[in-house]
Structure 1
């Protein structure tokens, strides 16, 4: 399910942004098995792609609150996870990184700790202590800045069903090191 939140300034560009995000999800996240839990919700069409024209932190927090409320009000069988894509806000990774503290505060203030978890994805994503071009960073690099809204109950079920879930991060880094920068680029050539 896809929704443009507020009118996006350029409808055609908005459709391209969503298409790029879907391609990234299919080819990188699912195709490389970076998240072994993603395929199930993708196949069942339980992923919401919400594109926002928010351009300030406050606007983005308001959109995040709206999306969380929607998830509360929607059966997980219909909507299990949301990708809140925000190409006009938090385009600088450091700004985005510090903004995540506000995201955590919103989750606490709404009483959603233990109910929802927000994963951070960004085109410039950089793990602490890594170099910007370190291939490991690409495990969390999305085409556009994105907040991934996850239900804690779904995470718990997925982890219980997946043997050795704590090894996912290390396996992802090994996958990316085998793939390398050239392999990553080839994912987007067709």
Structure 2
């Protein structure tokens, strides 16, 4: 299942493509019902991380936690890996270790991670299932979310438990081609 893809990027190309993905896919199709408010407030940080090895990548994630600690006006950070973690299996190892490191660094209950990757595949699901596109992004990305803010947002949502199921239905109704064309458009616009 794991496909290795060589990642090449010009300065900030990955960040602009990720920003476009958030606005033209995640926000536009309401995959995350909380994204619009943060896009409109311009409170999303897009951090380019060029680490290719796990120790440096993990250090960068913790550095972004420190950044969020000192910048309460920034609601969330998307850590965009521009040079490494193209292999989904390698990326999953990074995500697992990053979750453990957040706990070790005292960030459990403060920040949580959401995972996005160009080859994202939910455990136990076929790779071609369109539902995987709810977590497919132009670049390997770890999303740092303030837990307190997320709890407030979920409390104000009519059906927070129904968000994932709604997204799966939407993705399967639209099909993989729909998402592939949007991702291809974002990649070509950002070049």
Uncovered stretches (5+) of structure 1, i.e. residues with no partner: 1-9
Q: Give the number of equivalent residue pairs.
A: 178
More relative contact order in 1 or in 2 (CA 8 Å, sep 6+)?
Answer: 2
**How does 1:88-167 map onto structure 2 within 5 Å?**
88-167=83-162
The answer (yes or no) to whether the contact 2:49–2:79 under 8 Å persists in 1 is yes
The answer (yes or no) to whether the contact 1:93–1:125 under 8 Å persists in 2 is yes
Q: Deviations over 1:74-100 (max 9, x none)?
A: 12xx20000000022221111111222
What is the alpha-carbon distance in structure 1 between the residues aligned to residue 176 and residue 126 of structure 2?
Answer: 14
CA root-mean-square deviation: 1.5
The DSSP-based 3-state class of the residue aligned with 2:42 is: coil
Q: Which residue of 1 aligns with 2:36?
A: 39
What is the alpha-carbon distance in structure 2 between the residues aligned to residue 14 and residue 135 of structure 1?
Answer: 31
**How does 1:8-47 map onto structure 2 within 5 Å?**
13-47=10-44
Runs of 4 or more above 6 Å deviation: none
What is the alpha-carbon distance in structure 1 between the residues aligned to residue 136 and residue 175 of structure 2?
Answer: 14
Q: How far did 1:53 drift?
A: 1.2
The answer (yes or no) to whether the contact 1:124–1:141 under 8 Å persists in 2 is yes
Q: Which residue of 1 aligns with 2:68?
A: 71
The answer (yes or no) to whether the contact 1:14–1:51 under 8 Å persists in 2 is no
What is the alpha-carbon distance in structure 2 between the residues aligned to residue 157 and residue 116 of structure 1?
Answer: 14
Normalised to the residue count of structure 2, the TM-score between the two structures is 0.89
The answer (yes or no) to whether the contact 1:57–1:89 under 8 Å persists in 2 is no
The DSSP-based 3-state class of the residue aligned with 2:10 is: helix
Q: How far did 1:185 drift?
A: 3.2
